[in-house]
Amino acid sequence: MSSLGQYNIRFLCCFTVLFLSSIAARINLCSDLPFNSPSPSESNSFDDTLSLRKLNFDGHISFDELHHAAKDFGNRHRHYPLAILHPKSVSDISTVIKHVFQMGPTSALTVAARGHGHSLQGQAQALRGIVINMELLKKPEMHVHAGKQPYVEVSGGELWINILHETLRHGLAPKSWTDYLHLTVGGTLSNAGISGQAFKHGPQINNVHELEVVTGKGEVLNCSEKQNADLFYSALGGLGQFGIITRAKIALEPAPMKVKWIRVLYSDFSVFARDQEYLISSKHTFDYIEGFVIINRTGLINNWRSSFNPQHPLQASQFNSEGKTLYCLEMTKNINMDEAGTINQDVETLLSQLSFIPSTLFMSEVSYLEFLDRVHLSEIQLRSKGLWDVPHPWLNLLIPRTKIHDFNKEVFGNILTDTSNGPVLMYPLKKFKWDNRTSAVTPEEDIFYIVAFLSSAVPSWTGKNSLQHILAQQKRILDFCKKSNIGMKQYLPHYATQEEWKVHFGSRWETILRKKHAYDPLAILAPGQRIFQKAMHFSQ
């Protein structure tokens, strides 16, 4: 979920006792210690391997070349699985999970679904377990359904970029996106899926008509608002805890031809926040709204010139950002066939309501595809320089609106003052656009901000650019949020103990336990999330 754009390389480099007593024999639900998967004996590992080899699949299961499934985009955790399932059908996924479930608590095997590998903290890894390569699941084949309420039916392993290409052929596109499109449907729907359209359409999990889910018992269930609704809303934003999403029907809307892409700068955070909140609350507004924080970026505007045109070239050339913390507001306005002649006037009217620094107005006009896939261009550049496969210690926070000014003052006034080691996103979202029946957790306020620290740490970097320094800064940020009782929630959450997860889910924790017991009673699924640990009963 990063809005990397065309920035320079350093800026770029940078998801009750009674109740417990009824299920504690199956799942370790009470440990306050860091979770580690049980260490099976060599004989148990051999028995597990032998039993898996006897299973029949449309695809196949492999026991070597495991290193790809033992890493992710975060590039900080490596847990090698016992095997990788390469499925050709949903039946393959059901077969392997049902097999592990039927083995019962005498087996240490767990199962993790791995999409495009963009987890940050090993969430899609399974130590000595089975990793499912979801990208190989191509059934059902993608099919676009036009009509009054258009939708596209896709495999849970399909990439959003492929969905965009296919739906655009029909003049349609999904309503809500993530900033980076080379992610799988099942992966983003298991978290939430947010970007600059979420203020308008809600996250991606709010734009799904139906799912097919394989539960922790190996059951294959179709679910929607009217069928198996509990599972439907549990799986959406459920971090993979209640089932693996293998198919989805995603809502579509008419796609624009092009977009007017705009960036402006602010030096006053209060004005920046006020303008953002005004825009997301207005009936007539932009179609995409994001913001980010810029710390000590000399010559920033010059870096935009390759993709944007300054409204006032002379004034822009004289603007000096050195040594200042600035705030960028990034917006787009869709250009449709019947509105092409009035788009400039619409944009001018909207901009006239804002209080940005006039000399920093930059605009561009690009295709809808080019805008939505903008981060991929940066990926290509970074890969060519060997700066993509590095540690990414990202931290994504949801901060209540009433606390965002305190957060800004402490974090960008005292903690991050010299560099941010990568983009820092900051923009508001509206809670009523998030369906509270899903498993996703947000702060208890009508408006909250996503603040995403998208850091990169090249191994050779030292001092303020080192991984250790970045992690130390993040700890200071988290400590401040806790001590100040800000009411923060993590997006793409990661915690070391179950007590921390209880705090994260708050009053919803007992509901999470009920759902886990219903759909994954042996805690087989998504062990890398470290919420539940599979309990072991060793035979004598």
Please, which pLDDT band fits residue 43 given cuts at 50, 70 and 90? low
Q: Which of the 8 DSSP states describes residue 414?
A: I
- pLDDT more than 90, % of the chain: 79
Confidence tier at 418 by pLDDT (50, 70, 90): confident
Question: How far, in Å, CA of 414 to CA of 398, rounded?
Answer: 20
Instruction: Exactly one of 48, 290, 373, 520 is catalytic; name it.
Output: 290
Contact indicator for 63, 50 with CB cutoff of 8 Å: no
How far apart are the C-alpha atoms of 412 and 420, rounded to whole Å?
9
Q: Is the pLDDT of residue 2 over 80?
A: no
Residues in the chain: 540
Q: CA geometry: angle at 488 spanning 487 and 489, to 5°? A: 125
Residue 47 has pLDDT above 80, yes or no: yes
Amino acid at 194: I
Residue 475 CB neighbour total at 10 angstroms = 12
Give the whole-angstrom CA distance, residue 144 versus residue 165.
11
- Range in 10-24, 171-185, 385-399 the model is least confident about: 10-24
- In degrees and rounded to multiples of 5, residue 208 shows phi and psi of -125, 130
Query: Residue 418 and residue 423: Cα distance in Å, rounded?
Result: 13
Contact 82, 141 (CB under 8 A): no
Of residues 92, 482, 427, 177, the one with CA closest to residue 280: 427
Helices (H), 326-397: 343-351, 368-372, 374-384
Cis, bond preceding 140 (omega within 30 deg of 0) = yes
Name the helix (H) or strand (E) containing 61: strand 60-62
Query: Residues 255-262: what's their mean pLDDT?
Result: 96
Are 193 and 177 contacting, i.e. CB atoms less than 8 angstroms apart? yes
> Which residues in 242-264 are b (16+ Cβ under 10 Å) and which e?
bbbbbbbbbbbeebbebbbbbbb
The pLDDT, as a whole number, for residue 42 is 56
Contacts with 233 (C-beta within 8 Å, 6 or more apart), sequence order: 435, 437, 438, 439
Distance, in Å, from the CA atom of 54 to the CA atom of 39, rounded to the nearest integer, reads 23
Q: Classify the phi-psi angles of 421: left when phi > 0, otherwise alpha if psi is within -120 to 50, otherwise beta.
A: left
Q: Does residue 290 carry a catalytic annotation?
A: yes
- What rounded mean pLDDT belongs to the chain? 90
Q: Is the pLDDT of residue 317 over 90?
A: no
Question: Are 267 and 185 in contact, with CB atoms under 8 Å apart?
Answer: no
Residue 311: pLDDT band with limits 50, 70, 90 = confident
Is 330 a catalytic site residue?
no
Which token pair is 450? 């996503």
- Strand pairing of 111-114 and 172-174? unpaired
pLDDT of residue 298: 62
Question: What is the per-residue DSSP string for 483-503?
Answer: HTT---EESS---SSHHHHHH
Set 72, 135, 158, 179: catalytic member: 179
* Neighbour count for residue 143 (Cβ, 10 Å): 11
Phi, psi of 333 (to 5 degrees): -125, 125
pLDDT tens string 179-238: 999 999 999 999 999 999 999 999 999 999 999 999 999 999 999 999 999 999 999 999
Catalytic site includes residue 179: yes
Question: In the structure encoding, which two tokens stand for residue 85, read together?
Answer: 């399932």
Is the pLDDT reported for residue 374 higher than 90? yes
The single residue of 118, 201, 504, 517 carrying the catalytic annotation is 118
85-144 pLDDT per residue, tens: 999 999 999 999 999 999 999 899 999 999 999 999 999 999 999 999 999 999 999 999
Q: Give the residue, 334 or 26, on which the prediction is more confident.
A: 334
Range with lowest mean pLDDT among 11-25, 170-184, 289-303, 476-490: 11-25
